[in-house]
Amino acid sequence: MPTLAYLTQVTQGSPGDISIRGFDDGLWEDLLSLDLACSLKWKVLSAGPCPNARRVFFQLVGEPDVEGRDEPVADLLGQGSFATRREAGRQFHAWVAAANQEINEWLSTSGQLTFSGQIPERLAGFYAQRAECLGQHVANLSLDGAKAVMNVEQAINTRGLPFGAPTPDGAWVNMPSQFALGVFEAKLTPPPEPCDVYLLTAYAALLEWEHRRPCDYGVLLSLDSGSGQLCCDPYYLGEVARDHVRQNIEHFASLIAWSRLQGQDVISDQKQLDVTQLCRPECPERGPACPRCWYRGECRGQT
């Protein structure tokens, strides 16, 4: 269960120092120097690995080619039937959000844990089986249960950065100041590794910007496509993961510089980014990330 996966990491503590932080203006320097008004897709921060700025370019101008997204799904957690995997994903999100709210209620009131009949039994059982262990972690940390509640689907305030309002599926931001914050995503189709880490770390950096305190932990809830079992995986969002976000900011800045060199008017007088003016960077030699890239069809003309 997500809150248990977060608190387990908190209990174990952070394994190392992190020098790249979202509350340090230095991380955002290249971005802020462009003086953009809010017009930038925040997901530019979570574009996956690429030898140059090409993946950031595709992230800004196109849609990822997610395998199986429009194929039918007959069963989801014992419930059927869904027209497409994309629609099933939306339903999965809604159920997980409802289950997280139930856990929040239970943590805040110390009452009886119950799940609405709308939540599939398999998901409710997954949460219920882990509730006792969650209660033990709360007690071990001498926590008021209300401090461990997850903010469900609450937009991050990115005031001062040129992004809209990124909304993670959840975030633990109410913990006492000695504990690092955490971020949560639920994905029926998780992004291919290592993009899961990129996504969580981008959220973490933005939460650090908003709350001016460390956010070191991520949790991803997904459904194993083979076994149909729920998987709740913890992620430590350390220095290497932060470097991915920093590199994407650098790639974005280099993309703007490259496009301007080609004579393109990429940022208007109103400080808006015009993605139609962006120039596609050179195609690099095939890199190790290419076989798992969602844009490889567009980039290399094959899937």
Does 290 engage in binding with ligand SF4 (CB under 6 A)?
A: yes
Q: What are phi and psi of 279, to 5 degrees?
A: -100, 135
Does 64 engage in binding with ligand SF4 (CB under 6 A)?
A: no
Cβ 281 to ligand SF4 shortest distance, Å: 9
- How is residue 298 written in tokens? 């567009």
Residue from 1, 134, 278, 299 binding ligand SF4 (CB under 6 A): 299
Binding mask 13-52 for ligand SF4 (x = CB under 6 A): -------------------------------------xx-
Does 58 engage in binding with ligand SF4 (CB under 6 A)?
A: yes
Does 287 engage in binding with ligand SF4 (CB under 6 A)?
A: yes
- According to DSSP, the residues that pair with 170 across neighbouring strands are 152, 184
Nearer to ligand SF4 by Cβ, of 213 and 292: the residue is 292
Cβ 200 to ligand SF4 shortest distance, Å: 19
Does 54 engage in binding with ligand SF4 (CB under 6 A)?
A: yes
Residue from 10, 18, 40, 55 binding ligand SF4 (CB under 6 A): 55
Does 284 engage in binding with ligand SF4 (CB under 6 A)?
A: yes
Binding mask 172-191 for ligand SF4 (x = CB under 6 A): --------------------
Region of 16-24, 88-96, 239-247, 288-296 interacting with ligand SF4 (CB under 6 A): 288-296
Does 127 engage in binding with ligand SF4 (CB under 6 A)?
A: no
Does 289 engage in binding with ligand SF4 (CB under 6 A)?
A: yes
Contacting residues toward ligand SF4, per CB under 6 A: 50-51, 54-55, 58, 284, 287, 289-290, 293, 295-296, 299-300
